[in-house]
Each structure stands twice: as C-alpha cells, then as structure tokens.
Amino acid sequence: RIHDEADTRPPSAPLARSVSIRVASTMSAPFARASASIATPPRIHDTRRERLPRGARPRRDVAPTSWAKSESAIPTTKTTRLPAPTVHPASVPTRAHLIRGAAASSAAASSAAASSGESSPLGVHALVWTGGWSAADANDACARTAAAGYDIIEIPLLNPRAVDVEMTRNALGTHGLRVATSLGLSFDADVSSDDASCVARGNALLDEALDVSVGIGATHMCGILYSALGKYPRRATSRGYRNAVAAIKRLAKRAAERSDVTLGLEVVNRYETNLLNTATQAMAFLNDVDEPNVVIHLDTYHMNIEERSLEAAVLECGDRLGYVHVGESDRGALGSGNVDFDSLFRGLARVHYRGPITFESFSGDVVSPDLSDVLCIWRNPWGFEQRDELASDARSLVLGMMDKHGLR
C-alpha cells in the first residue's frame, strides 16, 4: 500500500523510523588476482520506533512501517512514499549465516532423510574454473572439481565442435567425475523462430550437442534448448511456440533411441528468452512436448527475478523437476546476495527432489570475452584466484541447506 504523508497520517500518529540496510562491497576489485575474502557480511541497522505519548493509541488503518518524516531543511512538499521494506533473514544472508543456520538442525534432519534413499549429487559449472576447453583447461577444471568435493562437472556446449570427446572422457575418468552439459541457441539457429531455415539450423545444433553429450557420457543435457539465448523484441508467436515444441519432441525421441541422456529445459528470465520465464510456463510447455525424458531445469538466479516464491515454483514442477542450478542474485558467491535459499530447499524437500544440484557462477576474470558477451557478464563479482574458495564455500552452503531441510 502507498501512503501519502500529506493526507493519510494524522497529526497525533507517531512517526516510525525506517529500517536501513547497508551492504558492504562483496568482492575484490575487477581483475584482482590477490586472494581475498569472497564476501563481506551485510549489516542491518534497525532503529526502534518512538514511544507513543501516554494514553495515545496507535492508528489501525496506517501501515506500522511508514517512512519517517524528513528532518532536512528543504521545504516540505506533498509527496507519495512507499512503506519501509520488511527485511526477512533470508533476504540478506551471508555465507557464514546460512551455513551456521543450516547446520544447526543437521543431525536430526539427516536422520529423517536417511531412509529416503540417495541424496542429490552436487555439481559445479565448468565456467567457474575456465573459459576454454583445451586439454589443459579440461584437466585443470576436472581436478579442481574433484578436489572441491563435487560429483559432477557441467560443460557448456555453445560450440559443440570445440569439445574433444575422447580427451574429455579421459579427463573425467581420471578424476572420477560424472558430467552434464548445457547450452543456449543463437538467434540464427533458433528453433522457436517462424523461419523454417532458422529452425533447421537450430535442430542441427541440438543434434551436434546431443552427439557430444552422448559421447562424453553425460547424464543430462540442459539449458535454453528451446529458443535463442538473448533478449527478444516481442513475445513468441504461436507458430514459433509450436516449432519449439516440435524441436524438443524430436530431440527427445532421438536421445531416447541412442542414450539415457535426460533433456532439461532451463527456465530463464525475460531478458534471456521470451518463451519459458516461469515454472508455470515450463509445465505447460512440458505437457505439450509429452516425452518422459524431458524435465524442467530451474535456476535460482532466474527464479529470483521471475518467481514470486522459489518454494512455490518448485512445488509447481513437482516430480517433473529434474535439474537445479544454484546461483546468486549477482552471479557471485552463494549467500552474498538476496536469493532465499531456505525457500528453495524447503520446496526441494517437499517434492522429495533427488536430482543434480549444480553451482553456477560467472566472472569476466575467467569467462572468455566472446562468451562474456553472450552471458552478459559485464563485471567481475569474484577474481581468478578465488575460484577454489568460491566453489568450496558454495558446496558447504548447499550441504548445510540439504541437512537443514532433510535432503540427505
């Protein structure tokens, strides 16, 4: 509700001071190489409301958190102001806060989950480690993934031909890792286009990516498989939607004929597709595709933009949810932004989710310039030398949340 101070606040009503939030800088300067702490904990300052005069009674029809009147010397004018925001604990977490809070109930939660079967495998996106995929890049990324305690490495296939299948299989085998792949289509190879030739190029690219995924032994091929990765100037057309459904259905049948690869349709924000921005839209699309090896892929970075509740989005998907990305609101260190991870993991627990949970974070200090442009990485939330700390802390936070909510 919006309250106009000039005509809704009675002269006798007490003034409430607002909650002020001051968040410290989270990472080292751009392109910094020196080791540094991943995040500085935010600090919340809550000033108390002034006491009511003796005998005065508070107004019931005025929001209790209305903004305090300015005490500046600027002449007062009639303005409309929003009420002070309500700050809940999950909205400004720190890594330490989340990990400690999740660990507090881990013993009891773990016992409750013990009989529910194997817990979710944990993964990390290869772009946390490297912007390329040469033999040296692949072996370094796989070695760091294993050393950090992850089960899966997710390899991007924006250009499937750049991935050497045999070399990648060897690197994965050397370090005992499972693998998933992901990609987004380009606008000249968009299966949601009205242009038949553009759709054909998109289908060809998806086939190439599937061939590589099968070749390296991937369990999942995820991402924006159904449209281009980028900002569209208008809504998807009915014809474009039907083309996308047909493309995914065709790809799913091809995948089922020659492998056990599961296709994950990533739900992303409105600036990266015009087709699937919410779990509700993804469920409708999935029902139209109607293939058993196609699942929904949720990502907290995008959910934080488009969904009203992370938990509700998970519940909307139910057992059709098959892959999860955990990413922070600024693409940086988990727990340093405003993603409500408690809400996510409550939802995962309620649907008994046991699929992969993969950490994703991007920095221009690692990702190549060309790919940075595609992914809109215009700044560096963390530095090159912080990769290991970043990945280790993310895994600790996820495990803590899993324990807290009975997911392992």
Known catalytic residue at 385: no
d(CA 219, CA 213): 8
Question: Distance from CA of residue 180 to its chain's centroid?
Answer: 16
From the list 71, 166, 266, 306, the catalytic residue is: 266
Q: Which residues contact 166 (CB under 8 A, 6 or more apart)?
A: none
Closest CA to 123 of 91, 101, 146: 146
Known catalytic residue at 154: no
DSSP string, 127-180: GGT-S--SHHHHHHHHHHHHHTT-SEEEEE-SSGGGS-HHHHHHHHHHHT-EEE
Strand partners, 22: 43
Closest CA to 163 of 174, 151, 176, 172: 172
Pair of tokens at residue 17? 């001071």
From the list 272, 307, 311, 360, the catalytic residue is: 360
- Secondary structure in 3-state letters for 21-86: EECCCCCCCCCCCCCCCCCCCCEEECCCCCCCCCCCCCCCCCCCCCCCCCCCCCCCCCCEECCCCC
∠ CA 245-309-352, nearest 5°, is 75
Pair of tokens at residue 340? 């409500």
∠ CA 153-158-159, nearest 5°, is 105
Closest CA to 151 of 133, 129, 190, 178: 178
Closest CA to 140 of 175, 92, 105, 164: 175
How does DSSP classify residue 234?
S
Report the relative pairing of strands 43-45 and 20-22 from DSSP bridges: antiparallel
Task: Give the number of other Cβ atoms within 10 Å of residue 249's Cβ.
Answer: 15
Report the relative pairing of strands 3-4 and 80-81 from DSSP bridges: antiparallel
Q: φ, ψ for residue 44 (rounded to 5)?
A: -110, 130
Catalytic residue positions, numbered: 266, 360
